[in-house]
A and B are shown apart, each in its own frame.
Chain A
Amino acid sequence: MNQVPESKNVAARAESASKIYGSGENEVRALDNVTVSFERGKFSAIMGPSGSGKSTLMHSLAGLDALTSGKVFIGDVDLSTLNDKEITKLRREKVGFVFQSFNLIPTLDAYENITLPLSLGKRGGDEAWITKVIDTISLADRLEHRPSELSGGQQQRVAVARALATRPEIIFADEPTGNLDSKSGTDILTFMRRAVTELGQTIVMVTHDAVSASYADRIVFLSDGHVAGEMSNPSPEKVLEYLKHLGD
């Protein structure tokens, strides 16, 4: 079932990844021996009910959380071999993030937020690329605004632009539309889709919404810390149908 793609085409993968919280009777296996990989240049979605381990998988892949056992790779880099400073550098350069909310630093304006990972690394970005990203999110006229002066949808678009700014290996999006109205949500999803199709980026999105998931090229379903299945070229109907039987 888990056909592992050619290594050079893989942006991120997990090998026998387990994450266990607590011990004894209180033991919770958030991830139980998960092996999964995400292809470069694709838009992937991770779905599953609450507590299925989808956020834990994403956090582990992104180097935000350490596994109990198993390995995760970003490109060819085994994250377990890196110290905190190296992982931080990797996140800054190779990984982009979009969270459900509170994505932006309130004291920085939109442009500063977009270029934040670059500034933290003290390296100049690719100006042409950044201009292109900003054009794509069509926020060129709001770049000097602080987050508090932007709508929720605009804030998320800035967040996506920030994730794209370093042209990372992979972008992780955790319920990026979860706090948005449906119009803004659609905008963000369309924008992410274009980032993959037109700009050649790689995105892994965690969601529990079938419509959101249907924007992806491929969906990985998680249940109780296991990979329960996957689906290519999904439509909302197919996803809903699949989810109905997931619990069976």
Chain B
Amino acid sequence: MFRLSLKMTLARKGRLLLTSLAIILGTSFLSGTTIFSDTINSTFDRLFTDVFRDVDAYVRSTDSVDTGFGEQRAPSPIEALDIILGVDGVSAAVGDMQSYARVVGKDGQPLGEDQGPPTFGGIASESVAGLWNVDSGRLPVGSGEVMLDRATAEAGKFVVGDKVRVNALSGSREFTLVGVANYGDISSPGGATFALFDQPTASEFLLKPGFVDAFLVQGDGTLSDEELAEAIDAALPKSAKLETLTGAEITEETTSQIKTVLGFFTAFLTAFSFIALGIGCFVIYNVFSITAAQRQRESALLRAIGASRRQVTISLLVEALIVGLLGSIIGFVSGIGLSRLLSALLNAVGLEIPTTGLTIATNAVTRIVLIGTIITVLSAILPALRSGRVPPLAAMRDTALDTVPKLGRRIVVGLILIALGAIGLLAALNGARVAILGLGVLGVFAGVLVIGPAISKPVAMLLGKPVAGLRGVTGSMSRQNAARNPKRTARTAAPVLIGVALVTAFTALAASVKNEIRETIGASFRGDFALSVNSRGFGGIPTSVTDKIKDLPEVDQATGVGFIAAKVGDESPFILVFDPKTAGGLYEFEMIEGAQTDLGDDEILVETDKAIEKNLVVGSSVQITLIDGSSKQLKVAGTYKNAYGNYAVSRELFADSTSPLFDSFVYIRVASGVDDDAAQKAISTVSSDLGIGTLESRDAYIDSQAAQVDQFLALIYGLLFLSVIIAIVGIIITLLLSVFERKREIGLLRAVGMTRSQVRMMVRWESVITSLFGAVTGVVLGILTGIVIVVSLNDAGFSAFTLPIANTVTILIGAFIIGVVAAVFPAWRATRTEIISAIASA
């Protein structure tokens, strides 16, 4: 029996191809994201192994704050270097720094991407323990000289002797380029940019005089790395609060930190690849159902000549196994190309992630082929069982119109499943486990599958009405064809439905978030201009620049807002830092209780929901620990809502701290009597002309802040695009099978006078109606999901929901185009129907 089904499978090449296409697409995305993730991970692995290759020990501060998005550590005093150099077994040691520094290009624009790889400032040293090798020129000496990594120098077309402007914590300065360096053997690690100085300049310009981030140590070979680290630890006084790691440990730690950050991202990718795979399942299930129905005769014949039910069922499952295995393998291979495409896509939306080479893990191959094969076989189980139930000598009647009994029950069961799924989704949004999210998605999908056949006929008839009116009997047949197999139509439209529902839900969510951003900024920011950076908590606008703006005669008032990592109670959030002295009337919190003015350096403001969660009221005491380990008790002075961050403190709190404090936004009010253009020009000379921040008018600033959501949305659209492709392929496959199945009908139509273009039109409109059915139901489901999510995430309730009308219209037009595109090939096939043989195939 196995050999028989193998033979039968291979004999039907067309069917084999169509079925495997769905599997190939489904698995290729999973394979693409897996290979992509593995590649980034191993790129970073290799990078840091390379970077710390010559580092035997690493000395750093014991104080740190882990924000969940990477760790921020206190600086170490440079005096410790002498102690380290004095330890037996140490041959060389050097201060190391990786602080924020942005190199400004010759065109006045800062080099590197705002959201791209980090832009570092560091120390160039002649010590062998340093990480840099001089490529050309020499090492920088003194406060006027800088060295660049080779990639950055090339990108900015800088040559030795040029003036280079660099922006860092203590402001914007111009240096003379005296040399170009390589990082180990490579020109730049992971696309980051580096501006390198001698140690005193680096400390003073990038951090704080007399401090570095850490020390790199090289042994003389007499001690093992572990012994060396122990020896250094023993030599350092306890009061210095320093610790020593071996080279292997720091490599390990750095890599795993990067991986944690990337983990969020790859998990996100994986989630979308599973959505694509789930959509692929619909297509696979649909293809098996249709072909199982079409081979009823074959199955009946097998039964008649003595095959048992089980054997018929198994023969179909064997086919599924073969197709699944084949499709998954091809899918895995095509995923390699897809991973490249994914890099390009992320680059296009501004999320550049360095990848070198290609990492294909053996277990990834096994896992993906296994997943692909298993879902194929699972998708085939129902159709296979149905096919086994075919009685021997089953009536050879034509596949006519099938009906869906128990409509009411389907609707009820479907709605219950969707509701349960939605509850799962909500629970996941509120922090339940990922498994719940998976079950939620599964519930919604299953509900759609159950409910689809019940509504597909009436909805398709409704959607087809104008087509019938417009295209006469041809349109009327399209409409009837779209409605004649409700189950098939529902299954074919399901991928479109799910894709559209997701797009709609995300779009609705994004529109609502954008609105909220606008309202939040609109309510708190009262000035005329805003200077902003988009630097994700690393670097920003030097506070000295904020002060300079404030002092401009064209400016009436200017105040900076920044974010910094700190421990508050048992959490390590980014907290908002503002200047209560200058903020009044320009940057206003929406206070619930208390006031923001006169906030002292021993006080803190708390977001109102957070206050309730943490049981804080005005007057409560909160412990805050800064990165440098200094700890303070703060008194809650008020509660607010609608601002970035759950805690807000005064800038004064950091006056004596070594925590590098930048502003992310500077809000500006123009002095009365000064026109906006003049003010903008004046502000630019101390900020954006030097490559610091983006200066925008109030309206433009609010627009661009809200537009950041679009970047995220673009990424989601991009990821959902593959689902759209699978949906199109699903429609193509179904149409092809339907055209094949209705061969006689098409032959008859041609015989009684239907022209080829009418045949084409008939198939095309059926496709459009099917696609629109998916889109319309998807939009409804998506809007409902969007409402549920927005309402559950937002205190404002339903009023916070914004219906994305323009996007919805775009989606429907898109579905129309999908329908037309998907019909091209099947319609062509239909016009090629041989009339005689079609009629003769009784």
Give chain A's interface residues, CB within 8 Å of chain B: 59, 62, 64-65, 84-85, 88-89, 91-93, 97, 99-103, 105-108, 112, 116-117, 119-122, 146, 148, 162
Contact = CB atoms under 8 A, between A and B. Distances in A.
B484 A107 contact: yes
Nearest to B757: A85
A84 B756 contact: yes
Given A107-B477, A107-B484, A88 B755 contact: yes
5 contacts: A65-B835, A107-B484, A112-B473, A120-B749, A120-B755
Contacts of B756: 84-85, 88
Contacts of A146: 401
B28 interface: no
A112 B401 contact: no
B182 interface: no
Nearest to B749: A105
B748 A92 contact: no
Contacts of B842: 100-102
A117 B755 contact: no
Q: Helix, strand, loop or mixed for chain B's interface?
A: helix
A148 B484 CA distance: 13
A107 B752 contact: no
A66 to B, nearest CB: 10
B235 interface: no
A105 B400 contact: no
A91 B401 contact: no
B473 A107 contact: no
A88 B754 contact: yes
B835 to A, nearest CB: 5
A103 B748 contact: yes
Interface in B809-842: 835-836, 839, 842
A97 B484 contact: no
A103 B842 CA distance: 11
A88 B748 contact: no
A220 to B, nearest CB: 21
Nearest to B744: A102
Top 7 closest pairs, chain A to chain B, by CB: A92-B753, A107-B480, A119-B473, A88-B755, A117-B753, A91-B753, A106-B400
A100 B480 CA distance: 25
A101 B396 CA distance: 13
Contacts of A148: 400-401
B306 interface: no
Contact of A102 (B398, B754, B836): B398
Contacts of A101: 842
Among A62, A108, A120, A162, chain B packs the most CB atoms within 10 A around the CB of: A120
A120 B836 CA distance: 20
B745 A105 contact: yes
A120 B474 contact: yes
Contacts of A106: 398, 400-401, 484, 745
Given A107-B484, A108-B480, A117 B752 contact: yes
Contacts of B748: 99, 102-103, 105
Given A105-B477, A106-B398, A148-B400, A93 B753 contact: yes
Interface in B281-311: none
Contacts of A121: 753
Among A103, A107, A162, chain B packs the most CB atoms within 10 A around the CB of: A107
Contacts of A105: 477, 745, 748-749
Interface string B387-400: 00000000000101
A106 B485 CA distance: 12
Given A91-B751, A105-B745, 4 more contacts: A88-B756, A97-B752, A107-B401, A116-B752
B472 interface: yes
B138 interface: no
A92 B752 contact: yes
Contacts of B744: 102
B835 A64 contact: yes
B481 interface: yes
Interface string B467-482: 0000011101100110
A202 B474 CA distance: 28
Nearest to B401: A106
Nearest to B479: A107
B758 interface: yes
Nearest to B842: A101
Nearest to A115: B473
Interface in B393-423: 398, 400-401
A2 B728 CA distance: 59
A198 to B, nearest CB: 23
Contacts of B474: 120
B641 interface: no
B836 to A, nearest CB: 5
B163 interface: no
A18 B756 CA distance: 27
B526 interface: no
Given A116-B473, A148-B400, A89 B753 contact: yes
Contact of A65 (B749, B755, B836): B836
B760 to A, nearest CB: 12
A62 B747 CA distance: 14
B753 A122 contact: no
Contact of A85 (B398, B400, B477, B755): B755
B751 A97 contact: yes
B750 interface: yes
Contact of A119 (B472, B481, B755, B835): B472
Given A99-B839, A105-B745, A107-B484, A112 B753 contact: no
B605 to A, nearest CB: 69
Contacts of B476: 108, 112
Contacts of A92: 752-754
Nearest to B474: A120
Contact of A89 (B400, B484, B749, B755): B755
Contacts of A65: 835-836
Interface in B720-761: 744-745, 748-756, 758
A150 to B, nearest CB: 12
A62 to B, nearest CB: 8
Contacts of A120: 473-474, 749, 752-755, 758
A97 B480 CA distance: 23
Nearest to A165: B752
B751 A64 contact: yes
Among B473, B748, B756, B758, chain A packs the most CB atoms within 10 A around the CB of: B473
A146 B754 CA distance: 20
A24 B484 CA distance: 47
A105 B758 CA distance: 15
B836 A59 contact: yes
B472 A64 contact: no
Nearest to A55: B840
Nearest to B477: A107
Contact of A88 (B477, B480, B745, B750): B750
Among A88, A108, A112, chain B packs the most CB atoms within 10 A around the CB of: A88
A106 B476 CA distance: 12
Among B398, B484, B753, B836, chain A packs the most CB atoms within 10 A around the CB of: B753
A117 B753 CA distance: 6
A93 B533 CA distance: 74
B745 A91 contact: no
A108 B477 contact: yes
Nearest to A106: B400
Contacts of A103: 748
Nearest to A86: B755
Contacts of B755: 85, 88-89, 120
A162 B753 CA distance: 12
Contacts of B473: 108, 112, 116, 119-120
A99 to B, nearest CB: 6
A204 to B, nearest CB: 15
Contacts of A102: 398, 744-745, 748, 839, 842
A108 B400 CA distance: 12
B836 A91 contact: no
A64 B744 CA distance: 14
B73 to A, nearest CB: 72
